[in-house]
Structure 1
Amino acid sequence: MKKLLILPLLLVFFAQWSMAQTPKWVEKAKRAVFSVVTYDKNDKMLNTGNGFFVSEDGLALSDYSLFKGAERAVVITAEGKQMPISTILGADDMYDVIKFRVAITEKKVPALVVAQTIPAVGADAWMLPYSTQKSIACVSGKVKEVAKISGEYNYYTLSMQMKDKMVSCPVMNLEGQVFGIAQKSSGLDTVTTCYAAGAAFAMSQKISALSLGDAALKSIGIRKGLPEAEDQALVYLFMASSTLAGEDYEKLL
């Protein structure tokens, strides 16, 4: 009889302990994570995945693989709202990251803050999955290793079990800021180890004057943004005038 009573008590204890370990910011932060659906030239579903907002006006990050071959794409928020992706703003196929803008249908959207500091080895980390449920769902772990990529940016190895369909979900620090984007992984170590490209690296992706020849960007049919600098944008337009078809060039203008 005592054993029968102890088991429910233990289950209650572990449930309370789990909730205590979940940071308070998770409930708000998970609203910035969305589902992405991409479509091919025949308007058939191409891929589904995840992404998240990094600004309240619709700037967002995801994985490049999700968009390769896509002619259009939409995001579906945690509240079930569907919004189209309007422009691609940069991509890197080697580290599988992409930056884009969503044509938001409201004044502002929930967004994550990109961490400005590098988490130390051994620091706590949380991965937030896309969810339409009210319950808090996240995976916790530790930063196992930090490596440099592209000079000033970082790539992370995490002591964390990555669940199915969590590619491109945000990896958060103790303060509730995003420092990484969950990457596809394979091999025997995936039970206890996963990887993340630095969110700051993904944010650094941009359209330059020479982006018309970028193979990664050319494989995406969704409209590209112009370079932010005026002189770069003018060079981009000049080069586009001799490489794009008339109709495409008109759309660009």
Structure 2
Amino acid sequence: MRHSTLALVCGLILFVVLAYSWCGRNPPSTVTGLPATPTPTPAPSTTTATPNVVASPSVSVAQVTATPPAQTPPPEFQKVAQKAEPAIIEITVFDAKGQLLRTGNGFFVSRDGLIVTSWTLVADAAYGVAKSPDGKIRNVPGVLASSQESDLAVLRAETKTGVPFLPLAKTSESIAVNAWAVVIGSSLQHKEQPVAAGTITSLGSDPKKDTFQISGAIPNDAAGAPVVDAGGEVVGIAAKNGLRPTGLLDPLLAQSKSATTARWAATPVESPTATPSPTPKFARNPRVISNPAPRYPYEARMLRSGPTTGSGKFRVTFGTNGLVKSVQTVESTGQAILDQAAIKGLQTWRAEPGAQDWTVLVPITFQP
């Protein structure tokens, strides 16, 4: 009986131990199953996918906004620029005291010396000269006609033998979208020509009057330069606020033909008199009447280093008799022999007799 009781007790104890052991192992299997809930949407997987989605549009936007390659004009435009070069000049203007104001572009539009340029360049000038690529310097008595709104002005340079000039487009058909055009500046300021080129990209409602644009970038110092088409005709002018069509020149050129005298805006106006007065013995605002270009010195060609070039600026003082009293070097050419040649040449200049001495600043460039 005791053995039966002992066997029963041992069996119960063994059952309890096994039951406890089974209950102790079951929770881990339940715990192991719990993390399965977050596993389907792990955070690292979602985070990694997001940058891939954002990065793809970023690359695509960069390709769409990339700057297009610079356009190169057709080869024939290089010949157009070379042919137009002699007619495109550098204009230098001075105030009433003979101090330099600024220099800029202009171009001849007639054999007798009519010049087209930017109104902004000459608006406050009292004197001016025009320098051609061949080194010739011509006196500019003043402005014949101008338009502040269109930023255009017509001047006249003094000439005895005539000047090379550019033809103006007779119709607005040359200004057409997708047609090529080039902006040609003075070769005295820009060695590389043309200074801008591109296809015409936009026009106004009136091609004869409204500003137009080209695809190429236009430098800030191009004001007054002509815009030329493939045929060598001027279809526009670079102005302060864009490219102006040549149609805007029609009224200015008509006014220039009827104008009796040219005048600078900063030149003092003489008081009107009731009765006509005889011509004064001395001009109140004298002008240069003879200005031959200084010759390139022969000695410079004989230098061991070979012919040299240089540009400088010289202040010429005229006396009341119109003769040169002195020539001062404001900016040297960098070569003493060229400076001496410039001074020697400028001493031969002549001006109208005046009531008092006056000065003018003259830019000089020597090329062999």
Indicate the TM-score class for this superposition, using the shorter chain for normalisation.
0.5 to 0.7
Question: Percent identity at matched positions?
Answer: 23
RMSD over aligned Cα, in angstroms?
3.8
SS at match of 1:25: helix
Q: Does 2:243 correspond to 1:196? A: yes
1:179 to 213, 235, 251: 235
Q: Does 2:179 correspond to 1:123? A: yes
Q: Return closer, same or farther for 1:27/1:207 CA change in 2, 3 Å cut-off.
A: closer
Separation (CA, whole Å) in 1 of partners of 2:268 and 2:279: 10
SS at match of 2:84: helix
How is 1:101-140 mapped onto 2 (pairs within 5 angstroms)? 101-104=156-159, 106-118=160-172, 119-132=175-188, 137-138=193-194, 139-140=196-197
How is 1:58-77 mapped onto 2 (pairs within 5 angstroms)? 58-77=113-132
Separation (CA, whole Å) in 2 of partners of 1:182 and 1:94: 14
Contact 1:86-1:222 at 8 Å conserved across structures: no
Separation (CA, whole Å) in 1 of partners of 2:153 and 2:200: 23
Deviations 1:117-151 (A, max 9, x none): 221111110110110499761121111222257x9
Q: Return closer, same or farther for 1:19/1:178 CA change in 2, 3 Å cut-off.
A: closer
Separation (CA, whole Å) in 2 of partners of 1:202 and 1:49: 19
SS at match of 1:155: coil
Deviations 1:170-204 (A, max 9, x none): 0011111001111225xxxxxxxxx2112231342
Q: Following TM superposition, by how much is the alpha carbon of 1:165 offset from its aligned partner in structure 2, in angstroms?
A: 1.9
Contact 2:186-2:225 at 8 Å conserved across structures: yes
| Larger Rg belongs to | 2
Corresponding residue for 2:315?
none
Separation (CA, whole Å) in 1 of partners of 2:205 and 2:145: 20
Structure 1: which amino acid aligns with 2:148? Answer: D
Separation (CA, whole Å) in 1 of partners of 2:227 and 2:193: 13
Q: Return closer, same or farther for 1:171/1:222 CA change in 2, 3 Å cut-off.
A: farther
The runs of 5 or more residues in structure 2 that have no matched partner are 1-71, 284-368
Q: Following TM superposition, by how much is the alpha carbon of 1:80 offset from its aligned partner in structure 2, in angstroms?
A: 1.7
Contact 1:39-1:72 at 8 Å conserved across structures: yes
How is 1:93-104 mapped onto 2 (pairs within 5 angstroms)? 93-104=148-159
Structure 2: which amino acid aligns with 1:89? Answer: L
Q: Does 2:184 correspond to 1:157? A: no
SS at match of 1:165: helix
SS at match of 2:186: coil
Corresponding residue for 1:191?
none
Corresponding residue for 1:90?
145
Q: Following TM superposition, by how much is the alpha carbon of 1:162 offset from its aligned partner in structure 2, in angstroms?
A: 0.8
Corresponding residue for 2:202?
145
Corresponding residue for 1:168?
224
Which structure would you say has the larger RCO, counting Cα contacts within 8 Å and 6 or more residues apart? 1
Q: Return closer, same or farther for 1:241/1:248 CA change in 2, 3 Å cut-off.
A: farther
Q: Following TM superposition, by how much is the alpha carbon of 1:155 offset from its aligned partner in structure 2, in angstroms?
A: 2.3
Q: Return closer, same or farther for 1:208/1:81 CA change in 2, 3 Å cut-off.
A: closer
Richer in strand (by share): 1
The runs of 5 or more residues in structure 1 that have no matched partner are 1-16, 186-194, 210-216, 225-239
Deviations 1:88-145 (A, max 9, x none): 21100111100111112x4121100000122111111011011049976112111122
Q: Return closer, same or farther for 1:57/1:134 CA change in 2, 3 Å cut-off.
A: same
Q: Following TM superposition, by how much is the alpha carbon of 1:219 offset from its aligned partner in structure 2, in angstroms?
A: 7.5
- Shifted more, 52-61 versus 198-207: the winner is 198-207
SS at match of 2:247: helix
